Amino acid sequence: MGQSLSLLGTWITNLALAWLVYHLTNSAFWLGVVSFCAQAPVFALSILGGTLVDRHPRRQILLITQSLSMLQSLALAVMVLTGMISLPAVICLAIFQGIVNAFDTPARLSFAPDLLQEPESLANGIALFASLFSTTRFIGPAIAGMVIAAAGPGACFLLDGLSYLAALAALIKIQPPPRLIKPPSSKAWQQIWDGFVYAYQTPAVRSLLLLVSFVNLLAATNVLLPVVAREILQGGPQILGWLTGSWAVGALFGSLYLGLQQRTSDLKRAILIALSVMSGGFLLFGYSNRLELSVLAIAGVGCGAMLSNASSNTLLQTMTAEEMRGRVISLFSMAALGTMALASLLFGVLAPQVGVLTVYLICGGVCLLGLLWFPRHLA
């Protein structure tokens, strides 16, 4: 429950930050820049975070990262509520949070095995953690849209800051079984290199990481939703809340479907279903200028993105050796959030040139190509 509230607050802040930047600049380009600044540190530093996770207790790392994230959100809330906010301040705080996330995400995602010692419960537990991460990622923005409409983005940042108290209380209360941490036989840089070598030389891990990069490159179109809400659907935060809420509903359906899967072959099939639904959602969204169709289409995108990411995460964790888990999950974070950072910058530049809906049509076509390519490599 503590992690649920913390994650929910995180994704509330992400959308509130996007709306704040668009309100300050009226620019899709700056939306992409700020999103890039928030996620690029994950791409650059996540493997270092994963190495740290393999060398030290994950609970202690989470206590530090969650405390730092709380301070960042409260600082953002104070600046917005007092009228001191500016674009440079937003960029600096976004970079700071990105650095923290580079260590928090691999620790959070690899914490499940520390709590679940029985082999028969490990796969279901990992799937639950992965679903929780992905589902709150899409439910949070839906809540943010309603809060922004009612009280402004500053209230979102304040809610996020307070939500970390639940996570910190849960981490303090939880006492996971002792995890045997072998003294590192090599220096940190060598362990980092070993992580890259392991991922590259293990075909299943390599293919899944490529899939995660592919899906999150397309999912980065989420950064353009404020533009769609205002310029295409002629609305404000309420319309943005509808769009992000529909994404959340789609993610929830994907999460429920994932919970029914028991075998590895089921998860592989789930990934193919996810790509099919996601491509259809992108194409429909790109052709729509009506709220009803856009809501339905973006739900398909959310369902596909969540289902693919959570299935990939579960497969990666169940097939990875314990001593490599932190580094592999850090590569998962790099593939997911790092790719989204680069893609957010790309879409921020591309949308003013070709039109925001054209970007979604292009992503739908690319997703169809992925549906043709990945089945052979995932086999």
Task: Give whole-number Cα distances, 322 to 101, 114, 264, in Å.
Answer: 22, 10, 19
Q: Establish if 355 belongs to a structural domain.
A: yes
Is residue 341 within 8 A of residue 38, CB to CB? The reply is yes
User: Comparing C-alpha atoms, which of 7, 149, 157 is closest to residue 80?
Assistant: 157
DSSP string, 80-106: HHTT---HHHHHHHHHHHHHHHHHHHH
Task: Note the pLDDT of residue 70.
Answer: 92
CA–CA distance, 379 with 220 (Å, rounded to integer): 27
93-22-39 Cα angle (round to 5): 40
Is residue 230 in some structural domain?
yes
- The CATH number linked to 56 is 1.20.1250.20
Q: Which domain holds residue 277?
A: 2-173+188-378
Give the distance, in angstroms, between the CA of residue 149 and the centroid of all CA atoms in the same chain: 24
What pLDDT, on the 0 to 100 scale, is given for residue 376?
74
Q: What is the pLDDT of residue 119?
A: 52
Whether residue 180 lies inside any domain: the answer is no
Residue 179 counted as domain residue: no
- Please indicate, yes or no, if residue 178 is contained in any of the structural domains: no
In a domain, 183, yes or no: no
Can you give the chain as a three-state secondary structure string?
Answer: CHHHHHHHHHHHHHHHHHHHHHHHHCCHHHHHHHHHHHHHHHHHHHHHHHHHHHHCCHHHHHHHHHHHHHHHHHHHHHHHHCCCCCHHHHHHHHHHHHHHHHHHHHHHHCCHHHHCCCHHHHHHHHHHHHHHHHHHHHHHHHHHHHHHHHHCHHHHHHHHHHHHHHHHHHHHHCCCCCCCCCCCCCCHHHHHHHHHHHHHHCHHHHHHHHHHHHHHHHHHHHHHHHHHHHHHCCCCHHHHHHHHHHHHHHHHHHHHHHHCCCCHHHHHHHHHHHHHHHHHHHHHHHHCCCHHHHHHHHHHHHHHHHHHHHHHHHHHHHHCCHHHHHHHHHHHHHHHHHHHHHHHHHHHHHHHHHCHHHHHHHHHHHHHHHHHHHHHHHC
- Say what the pLDDT of residue 319 is: 79
Q: What is the pLDDT of residue 126?
A: 62
Q: Is 0.85 topped by the overall pTM?
A: no
The pLDDT score that the predictor gives to residue 124 is: 66
Q: Would 181 be classed as within a structural domain?
A: no
- The count of structural domains within the chain is 1
Position 283 scores a pLDDT of 93
Helices (H), 320-355: 325-333, 339-354
pLDDT of residue 121: 61
Average pLDDT per run of 10 along the chain, which is 379 residues long?
72 82 83 81 79 80 91 93 90 91 81 63 63 68 78 88 87 71 62 78 85 89 84 80 80 78 74 91 90 90 88 81 77 78 80 88 91 76
Residue 73 lies in a domain: yes
